[in-house]
């Protein structure tokens, strides 16, 4: 499979469609917000009229009320990859959700995600009263490897590691090693000023296209304000706006600033990945970048 990753607003979707048209590819989304039905405007989700005849997968697969984990994504993506390959087409994985990409590419093994809602609430309560550093200290006592490998900023995974140990006495499962796939992994990027300008344009466009109305509609349909889906950037700020916690004049700037911070975290994540190819879309040019991706795709197909 060919992976096209990169920070938000860099231009992954447009280039992926052009590539897929050239190499009989099908696009498999790797975006933790675009999996949700009803989250369209705030995720800049591609619409059928924009797909130019290229098949897209793993968009709109989950109700906005539901939880959807990295393990859920991995299993669904594996199934789709197999279907695409059986058709003789090239799976093109496109997105910026780094953990999901890593879990898919490296073949992470996951412990069964049993429902321990009370235990999760207890861990969250400990963190609320004593801080997340206390969760890290508790984790260090039982699972040193997870303590060392999970970022202090990744609160969800810290809590999950502690939950797995307390509920089962097992440590959080790790990657078994090499990838189960033949992979060509590409990261698209642009100069930071260009990324910020594109993010600003996107934030403005989202509000003009009805982001506030979209969020109000989701809330009116019974999606809880604490739902995983509404924790996505753009949505959580707009939920706060709906409840009067953010002023009209502040909303666009808040979404823009938080999206810039997300882009920075994404770039940091991709720099930590090994064996990836980097393409500066402004220095290299989109035409030459497309040619490089096409050559990589042809090499993958010829190796079959």
Residue 295, both tokens? 């050559």
pLDDT tens-place string over residues 71-88: 899 999 999 999 999 999
pTM equals: 0.82
Residues 6+ apart with CB under 8 A from 57: 26, 27, 28, 29, 80, 84
pLDDT tens-place string over residues 217-229: 999 999 999 999 9
Q: Does residue 163 share a domain with residue 267?
A: no
Q: Does residue 96 share a domain with residue 121?
A: no
| Residue pointed to by tokens 């991995």 | 74
Q: Does residue 260 share a domain with residue 154?
A: no
Q: Check which CATH number belongs to the domain holding 94 and give it.
A: 3.40.50.300
Report which DSSP code applies to 18: H
Q: Does residue 189 share a domain with residue 246?
A: yes
Residue 40 has pLDDT above 70, yes or no: yes
The pLDDT of residue 304 is 72
Radius of gyration for the chain, computed over Cα atoms and rounded to the nearest angstrom: 20
Total of domains in the chain? 2
Work out the angle at residue 43's Cα, subtended by the Cα atoms of residues 18 and 61, and round it to the nearest 5 degrees: 85
Its domain, for residue 151, covers 117-168
CA distance 252 to 128: 29
Residue 89 has pLDDT above 70, yes or no: yes
Q: Does residue 140 share a domain with residue 38?
A: no
CA distance 238 to 127: 25
CA distance 34 to 44: 8
Last residue of a domain, one of 168, 186, 208: 168
The pLDDT of residue 105 is 94
Q: Does residue 208 share a domain with residue 253?
A: yes
Q: Does residue 128 share a domain with residue 102?
A: no
Q: Does residue 81 share a domain with residue 230?
A: yes
């Amino acid at each position: 499979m060919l992976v096209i990753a990169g920070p938000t607003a860099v231009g992954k979707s447009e280039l992926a469609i052009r590539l897929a048209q050239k190499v009989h590819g099908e696009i498999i989304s790797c975006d933790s917000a675009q999996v949700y039905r009803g989250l369209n405007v705030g995720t800049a989700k591609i619409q059928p009229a924009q797909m130019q005849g290229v098949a897209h997968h793993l968009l709109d697969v989950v109700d906005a009320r539901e939880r959807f984990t990295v393990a859920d994504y991995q299993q669904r993506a594996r199934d789709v990859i197999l279907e695409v390959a059986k058709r003789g087409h090239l799976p093109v994985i496109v997105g910026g959700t780094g953990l999901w990409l890593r879990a898919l590419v490296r073949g992470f093994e996951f412990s069964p995600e049993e429902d321990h809602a009370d235990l999760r609430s207890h861990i969250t309560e400990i963190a609320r009263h004593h801080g997340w550093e206390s969760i890290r200290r508790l984790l260090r006592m039982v699972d040193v490897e997870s303590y060392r490998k999970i970022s202090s900023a990744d609160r969800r995974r810290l809590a999950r590691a502690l939950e797995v140990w307390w509920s089962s006495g097992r440590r959080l499962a790790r990657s078994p090693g090499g990838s189960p796939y033949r992979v060509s992994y590409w990261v698209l990027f642009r100069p930071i000023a260009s990324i910020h300008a594109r993010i600003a344009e996107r934030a403005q466009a989202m509000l003009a296209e009805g982001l506030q109305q979209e969020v109000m509609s989701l809330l009116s349909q019974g999606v809880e304000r604490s739902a995983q889906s509404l924790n996505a950037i753009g949505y959580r700020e707009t939920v706060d706006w709906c409840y009067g916690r953010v002023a009209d004049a502040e909303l666009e700037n808040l979404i823009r600033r938080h999206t810039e911070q997300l882009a920075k975290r994404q770039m940091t994540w991709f720099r930590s990945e090994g064996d990836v190819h980097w393409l500066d879309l402004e220095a290299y040019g989109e035409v030459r970048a497309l040619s490089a991706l096409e050559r990589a795709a042809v090499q993958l197909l010829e190796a079959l």
